[in-house]
Amino acid sequence: MRAVVTITRRGEIADPEGTTIQRALIDLGYTEVDVVRVNRTIEVSMPGRDREYVRTAVRGMCDKMLANPVMEDYEIEILD
User: Into which CATH architecture does domain 2-79 fall?
Assistant: 2-Layer Sandwich (3.30)
* pLDDT tens, per residue, the chain with 80 residues: 999 999 999 999 999 999 999 999 999 999 999 999 999 999 999 999 999 999 999 999 999 999 999 999 999 999 98
The strand ranges marked E within 1-80 are 2-9, 40-45, 72-79
Alpha-carbon distance 47 to 28, whole Å?
45
In DSSP terms, 41 is beta-bridged to: 6
Residue closest to 1 by CA, chosen among 74, 80, 72, 58: 80
Task: Map out the domains of the chain as residue ranges.
Answer: 2-79
Instruction: Report the DSSP beta bridge partners of residue 9.
Output: 72
- The pLDDT of residue 80 is 85
